[in-house]
């Protein structure tokens, strides 16, 4: 007897081999890289950048849809999210439509959470987890510039960015450096997605044998 499907999950091949899970500290530039990657997509590219559903108004640089907290919780209960988590007092979700996209042979880029990676890998064991890396002083400057957090919050976010987090065994990983030109980093991220379209693993980064990473 096969295992029961997870809530909201469609039947089909959803091992995550066409899923690129982008993660990094707040202020690392994930939204910018995803926006630039989307802008570089060609008509022949079978790649989509998924929207996030979030309980705060979306910034100009991010592909997010605002939901009231009660509506976000209702959709989560109805199985409308393939992935969902909470962080810094906010709720985030990735729509279950990504399963249909992967069914159609499309590679999907999602803006994920480092802390939620074990749950994401449990659902999509074949995903590629891409860490967007920035040095601490660069991260601090970006957080100050965007003006969303207090000085204390910025210090906490910079410290959290240096923390070690769990990477499940056999999870394929890659790192994109975003200390320099964001266009170059976006091109590197898009190259990873295009390789997944052709059933190739990424040549950037490596599996994490220790199961821990920064």
Residue 96 maps to a domain: no
Residue 65 sits at φ, ψ, to 5 deg, of -115, 125
State the Cα–Cα distance between residues 61 and 36, nearest whole angstrom.
10
Residue 58 maps to a domain: no
Q: Which domain holds residue 130?
A: 19-49+107-209
Residue 94 maps to a domain: no
According to the model, what pLDDT value does residue 9 have?
46
Residue 114 maps to a domain: yes
pLDDT, greater one: 26 or 212: 26
In this predicted model, what pLDDT tens digit does every residue of 174-183 receive, in sequence order?
A: 999 999 999 9
Residue 78 maps to a domain: no
Q: Are 174 and 200 in contact (CB under 8 A)?
A: no
In this predicted model, what pLDDT tens digit does every residue of 54-78 receive, in sequence order?
A: 998 876 566 789 999 999 999 999 9
Residue 87 maps to a domain: no
Residue 79 maps to a domain: no
Provide the mean pLDDT of the chain: 85
Measure Cα distances from 197 to 72, 104, 208 in Å: 31, 11, 23
Strand-pairing partners, residue 32, are: none
CATH number at residue 26: 3.40.50.300
What does the CA dihedral 92, 81, 57, 64 come to, rounded to 10 degrees?
100
Residue 197's CB is within 10 A of a number of other CB atoms, namely: 15
In this predicted model, what pLDDT tens digit does every residue of 132-163 receive, in sequence order?
A: 999 988 888 888 887 777 888 888 888 877 77
The proportion of the chain whose per-residue pLDDT surpasses 70, expressed as a percent, equals 85
Task: Count up the domains in the chain and report the number.
Answer: 1
Residue 36 maps to a domain: yes
Question: How sure is the predictor about 10, in pLDDT bands with cuts at 50, 70 and 90?
Answer: very low
Question: How sure is the predictor about 5, in pLDDT bands with cuts at 50, 70 and 90?
Answer: very low
């Amino acid at each position: 007897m096969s295992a029961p499907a997870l809530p909201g999950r469609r039947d089909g091949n959803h091992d995550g081999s066409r899923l690129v899970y982008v993660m990094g500290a707040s202020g690392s530039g994930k939204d910018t890289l995803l926006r630039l990657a989307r802008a570089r997509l060609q008509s022949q590219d079978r790649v989509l950048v998924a929207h996030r559903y979030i309980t705060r108004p979306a910034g100009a640089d991010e592909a997010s849809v605002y939901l009231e907290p009660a509506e976000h919780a209702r959709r989560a209960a109805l199985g409308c999210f393939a992935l969902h988590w909470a962080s810094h007092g906010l709720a985030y979700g990735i729509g279950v439509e990504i399963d249909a996209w992967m069914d159609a042979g499309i590679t999907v880029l999602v803006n994920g959470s480092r802390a939620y990676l074990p749950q994401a890998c449990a659902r999509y064991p074949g995903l590629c987890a891409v860490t967007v890396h920035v040095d601490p002083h660069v991260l601090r400057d970006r957080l100050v510039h965007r003006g969303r957090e207090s000085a204390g919050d910025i210090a906490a976010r910079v410290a959290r960015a240096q923390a070690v987090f769990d990477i499940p065994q056999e999870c394929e990983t890659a790192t994109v450096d975003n200390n320099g030109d964001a266009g170059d980093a976006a091109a590197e991220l898009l190259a990873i997605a295009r390789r997944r379209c052709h059933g190739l693993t990424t040549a950037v980064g490596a599996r994490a044998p220790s199961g821990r990473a920064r």
